[in-house]
Structure 1
Amino acid sequence: MRLTAQPAFVLHTRPWRETSLLVEVLSAEHGRVGLLARGVQGPKRHPLRAALQPLQSIRFDAVWRGELARLIAAEAVDVAPRLSGEATLAAFYLNELTLRLAPRQEPQTELFAAYARARERLRVGEPLGWTLRRYERDLLDALGVGFDWRTDGDGDPIDPAARYRLDAEHGPRRLLLDRGRADRAGAATGRALLALGEDRMPDAADLASLRRAIRDVLAHHLGARGLKSWEMLGALAATVAPSRVQTESDA
């Protein structure tokens, strides 16, 4: 099957043999696609290399053969966001999470649109924590495993004053008042859940409560192998003030 002028975002690129690249992209019509780009590495810089950088928006032509498609042509649609510091780690997390959870060869129009929005938010410098939480919410929705953020798993309205754990199968579960500090640390506030459902940025403390709660859901869907970006963030947290890491870029 031939793919022509397909819009996509580059998620990951790695060398293959001496002169080729294996490229993973997210496309609207075909979901995650693995591309084999032959002959683009070597002493002379190949024109395709610039279009195959992570976070780049491209249009590509390819021929599908088995699990991978052979890349024929690709062109950059725009200039990829130029990021630094914590924003670079946030982009790495965005791409890694998408790479791990987006299915191959399945239409993903909603996820493609959500990725485009998150990429633009990184470009313009919107708060990183809020950008990532919104993308995690949209990714879960696009994959059909999201939540109704207005009600808990039993169908009761979310209480803004309560705390909730997110059960990947059941939905939000209200935390009992007598639970310990460790349990409360892994739970989101009801205010945060409602704000996320309304696409309204919560205050810093409520926003921070969403991170761990949503991570538990993502870990369930990822399986036994976590994300490298989580490991990188753990190393960063050991050297950076915890409040700054959690409020700005904690994935």
Structure 2
Amino acid sequence: MRLTGEPGFVLHARPWRETSLLVEVLSANHGRIGLLARGLRGPRSQPLRAALQPLQSIRFDAVQRGELAQLRAAEALDAAPRLTGEAMMAGFYLNELTLRLTPRDDPQPDLFAAYARTRERLRAGEPLAWTLRRFERDLLDALGLGFEWSVDGDGEPIDPAARYRLDPEHGPRRLLSDRGQADRSGAATGRGLLDLGADRQPGNADLPGLRRAMRGVLAHHLGPRGLKSWEMFGGLQKAASPQLLDRQD
């Protein structure tokens, strides 16, 4: 298969041998693609190396004859977002989550669009917690793993005043009011779920529960090996308060 002028976003790049890179790209028409970029030594290769950095929007040509496509050419379509601090960590999380949950060579046009929106929200400095919850929701929807946010797993309307756990296979499950605090710690408010479904930014009090509830769903689909970004976030949370992804700025 020959790819010509294919738009994509660079998710990850790592050295391979002395002069090459292994690159993972989320492409517009073919989903996630693994690319082998050869011969990246010397000053003439610097523009190509610069185009193959994470979060970069590119247009590329490649030929696929196996698991990896051979990169023939690539050019940057814009300047990648210049992220620092917490926003840089959020960008790393965005790429790692996409890389881990999306299969190769499976077209995902809705996910491609969601990634593009999230990338621009990070560039614009929009609230990180809400930006990432929206992407997690859109990622699950694009992969056929999402929920109907206005009703629970039994078809009952979501109660804004109640609390819910997100069962990855069943959907939202309402918690009984007499459940212990430990059982409620991973739950989201019904109000938060309704806001997420309506793409309406929740209040500050509802965002931490949404983060914890969504993490449980993602962890289920990721399997026993979690994300490196979660470990990094955990280290930062121990050193600072409030929690990183619960912050609004």
1:211-251, Cα deviation, whole Å (9 max, x unpaired): 0100000011101110000000111111111x2524228xx
Measure how far apart 1:184 and its partner are.
1.1
Determine the structure 1 residue equivalent to 2:54.
Answer: 54
Measure how far apart 1:43 and its partner are.
7.2
Determine the structure 2 residue equivalent to 1:145.
Answer: 145
Separation (CA, whole Å) in 1 of partners of 2:169 and 2:221: 10
SS of 1:205's partner is coil
The correspondence of residues 70-149 of structure 1 with structure 2, limited to 5 A, is 70-149=70-149
Preserved contact between residue 57 and residue 77 of structure 1 (Cα < 8 Å): yes
Preserved contact between residue 128 and residue 245 of structure 2 (Cα < 8 Å): no
1:163-190, Cα deviation, whole Å (9 max, x unpaired): 0000000000001111111111100000
The Cα RMSD (Å) is 1.4
SS of 2:7's partner is strand
Separation (CA, whole Å) in 1 of partners of 2:213 and 2:42: 45
Preserved contact between residue 8 and residue 27 of structure 1 (Cα < 8 Å): yes
Preserved contact between residue 11 and residue 26 of structure 1 (Cα < 8 Å): yes
Preserved contact between residue 19 and residue 42 of structure 1 (Cα < 8 Å): no
1:34-70, Cα deviation, whole Å (9 max, x unpaired): 0000011457753200100000000000000200000
SS of 1:213's partner is helix
Measure how far apart 1:103 and its partner are.
1.3
The two structures have a TM-score, normalised by structure 1, of 0.96
In structure 1, give the amino acid aligned to 2:157: P
Preserved contact between residue 21 and residue 41 of structure 1 (Cα < 8 Å): no
Unpaired stretches in structure 1, ≥5 consecutive residues: none
The two structures have a TM-score, normalised by structure 2, of 0.97
Q: Does 1:245 align with 2:244?
A: yes
Unpaired stretches in structure 2, ≥5 consecutive residues: none
Preserved contact between residue 20 and residue 39 of structure 2 (Cα < 8 Å): yes
Determine the structure 1 residue equivalent to 2:2.
Answer: 2
SS of 1:238's partner is helix
Separation (CA, whole Å) in 1 of partners of 2:140 and 2:14: 27
Separation (CA, whole Å) in 2 of partners of 1:44 and 1:26: 26
Separation (CA, whole Å) in 1 of partners of 2:198 and 2:34: 35
- Higher mean alpha-carbon deviation, 125-134 vs 180-189, is at 180-189
